[in-house]
Amino acid sequence: MPILVITGTGTEVGKTVTTAAVAAAALAAGRSVAVLKAAQTGVRPDERGDADEVARLAGDVTTAELARYPEPLAPATAALRAGMVPVRPREVADAAAELATGHDLVLVEGAGGLLVRFDEAGGTLADAAELLRAPVLVVASAGLGTLNTTDLTARELRLRGLELLGVVIGSWPASPDLATRCNVIDLPDVAGAPLLGALPAGSGSLAPPVSVRRPPAGWRPGWTGRGRRRPSGAGRHRSPGARPQSRRGAGTCPSAGRRIGSTRERGARRAGTGENPGRPVPPGRSPCRYGPPAPARCPAIPSTTRCSRAVTPG
């Protein structure tokens, strides 16, 4: 079935604007699109919901909303407090399947994260995705803390045997700090899936349609012009004979001969100082995957080296 489930690593990470971007791309390709909001919370009956916002940003899409609760809480709690009937995973799956009979693509947007409860029995969006056997797109935040929440979400999907289509950064800041820039490199590793795109912060206020195809200006984390990752190995350097780096980015940087993630370096990354501790990179050698150290500590690196393009400070 042509169904894609869109979830987030938490609330307010950019799920709705990402859903709109995917819808806009599908519409531009000539496909008919339906958007299903499983449970809308924190919105009054006379207010516009997330599905309405997707339609405003993306264009001519069919929208559906299964339930609306007035308080901005998890759907199960919001339904209980309002004395209303909760949404159940089976209802989400049935509604999506019905929409799929008349549309080329159905986007199912969750509420909050993957395991936010819909009902008193603990039903979640993950359960609905299992019933549909649909791939899942994860929307993540850009800054410090996103690696943990993305890893947890990806692990749950793997445990359930669900396909993680990829990760999208829902709000890329105009001035990303060091941790944010490093997260661009680490996110595919912790997710075990490609980083498919990013939306500049404030995209929801831009003139529609929005697009996930264009990375923010000055942001080049090893992407091609069409918003896809480079082939495996591109954008990263490994010296001949060096041991491969692990999936999670731990281990020794083959270029600088130092340990990634030392206490001092983690402190510098948290502070966003741009300091890159460790011994200087020898002339003619490529820096490690997190990009070149601070200019004062690193000799000039030839612009032709692949790794030097992995992260370009904004």
Active-site residue, selected from the candidate residues 37, 103, 117, 289: 37
Distance CA 186, CA 146 (A): 10
Hey, what are 182's tokens?
């490093």
Provide the H-helix boundaries in the chain.
15-28, 50-58, 75-82, 89-100, 125-132, 146-159, 178-191, 263-271
Distance CA 189, CA 197 (A): 15
Residue 274 burial (CB count, 10 A) = 15
Residue 81 burial (CB count, 10 A) = 12
155: nearest Cα among 125, 191, 111, 186: 191
| Phi, psi of 14, rounded to the nearest 5 degrees | 110, 25
Amino acid occupying residue 290: Y
Residue 15 a catalytic site member: no
Contact 21, 170 (CB under 8 A): no
Contact 57, 48 (CB under 8 A): no
Contact 41, 50 (CB under 8 A): no
Contact 274, 178 (CB under 8 A): yes
The vertex-197 CA angle with 195 and 201, nearest 5°, equals 125
- Enumerate the active-site residues: 37
